[in-house]
Amino acid sequence: MSRSRSLDEENDTAADSPLHVSVVIPARNEAHNIERCLRSVLSNDYPSYDITVVDDQSTDGTGDIARSIASGDPRARVIETGAPPEGWFGKQWACETGARATHSDIILFADADTTHSSDLITRSVNAMTRRSAHLFSIVGAQELGTFWERLIQPLVFGMLLVRYGGTESITNSRFVTSKIANGQCLFVRRDTYDELGGHSLVKSHVADDMMMAQRFFARGKKVAAAEGLTQLSTRMYTSLGEIVRGWGKNVFAGGRDSVPWGWFGRLIFPFLLLSAPLFTLAPAIVLIVSLITDVPGTLSLWAIMAAAAQVIWWMAVYHRMHVSPLYALISPLGALVVLYIFARAALRGQKVTWKDRVYVSR
């Protein structure tokens, strides 16, 4: 990612009197992920940390797997949480429950589908301290296994890159709506977290990480981000269905909070949202139409030039995400799926369904 700082630049040695870090991992039906995540966090060489896995009413044995691993290491434990109170999203309530059960200088909220390197906490705490950040998140590598993951995920992340820029653009922006964080790996100073009300600050927002970054910044707190491509990796989704449901849950309900221009920005947001995949599709559509019927020569020329420019851009994005650049040749197919996801999300509005729970994002 251009204009980004990397954790590789940070010192990998902890301070002589290290700040204590509590790692909170909210987990609902994460049996396929929790062992790898928990073991990777336990491999950290940071000298002062503990781990709390919050089993959020899982029905697939997530808690049992986590308890089996935690029983062999005093740094880890598993707690359970009940159904979220009225007005709370499940993940936020699990994070709040885990945070309340810990005592530390820094809290790291980590998703159960993440894998951590042994130096992630050390480098992150050093970066967070050096930059005097109250909220600090890591942008890690994306693990892409299936055809649909390799085709679609780079397109979505490429669109996010156009919107937000690199981590330094996010960190240095003076605008609330340009603040975003990665909830997959989110560090917060404990005193600031408690001062601002913890996760109750974002209890009913589907894009809780982005909203927490915005709320922290709006209250005068420093929000920063960095790349950690060798320290953090995430397998977000494993199938086309998961991709559709996963991005569909927050791309509209959460994305509308990232639009500037107040009420007017929110009014036109559906059109802005759909314009991103349509921009990728437009040259291909014109070229196909030109094969069927006569179109002005200037329009055909534009389509050829625009399609070529887009292929070059998407080749760079796919390469950056360690996917064959040849996927750029079929990027219009991916854009068509992205258009479906975005349109479906816009039609659903603020209603969100995720992991067998239905919410209304506010």
Q: Tell me: the pLDDT tens digits for 181-204?
A: 999 999 999 999 999 999 999 999
pLDDT at 289: 87
3-state helix, strand, coil in the chain (%, to 5): 50, 15, 35
Q: Given the DSSP bridges, would you call strands 357-360 and 351-354 parallel, antiparallel or unpaired?
A: antiparallel
Q: What is the mean pLDDT of residues 51-69?
A: 97
pLDDT tens, 74-102? 999 999 999 999 999 999 999 999 999 99
Q: What is the mean pLDDT of residues 54-75?
A: 96
Lowest mean pLDDT among 23-37, 56-70, 278-292, 307-321: 278-292
Q: What is the mean pLDDT of residues 70-76?
A: 95
CA 41/CA 117 separation, integer angstroms: 8
Amino acid occupying residue 228: G
Q: How many CB atoms lie within 10 A of CB 270?
A: 18
Q: What percent of the chain has pLDDT over 90?
A: 81
pLDDT at residue 339 is higher than 80 = yes
Find the largest Cα–Cα distance for the chain.
73
Q: What percent of the chain has pLDDT over 70?
A: 99
Lowest mean pLDDT among 87-91, 143-147, 240-244, 256-260: 256-260
Lowest mean pLDDT among 86-95, 103-112, 224-233, 299-308: 299-308
Q: With bands split at pLDDT 50, 70 and 90, how would you rate the model's confidence at 151?
A: very high
pLDDT at 290: 85
CA 313/CA 218 separation, integer angstroms: 34
pLDDT at 299: 86
Mean pLDDT of the chain: 94
CA 231/CA 7 separation, integer angstroms: 8
Q: What is the mean pLDDT of residues 163-171?
A: 93
CA 283/CA 300 separation, integer angstroms: 9
pLDDT at 1: 46
Choose among 153, 171, 165, 139: nearest CA to 335: 153
Task: Give the residues across from 109 on adjacent strands.
Answer: 24, 186
Q: Tokens 């086309």 — which residue?
A: 240
Q: With bands split at pLDDT 50, 70 and 90, how would you rate the model's confidence at 360?
A: confident
pLDDT at 351: 84
pLDDT at residue 349 is higher than 70 = yes
Q: What is the mean pLDDT of residues 262-284?
A: 91
pLDDT at 252: 87
CA 23/CA 359 separation, integer angstroms: 26
pLDDT at 361: 80
pLDDT at 262: 85
pLDDT tens, 10-57? 999 999 999 999 999 999 999 999 999 999 999 999 999 999 999 999
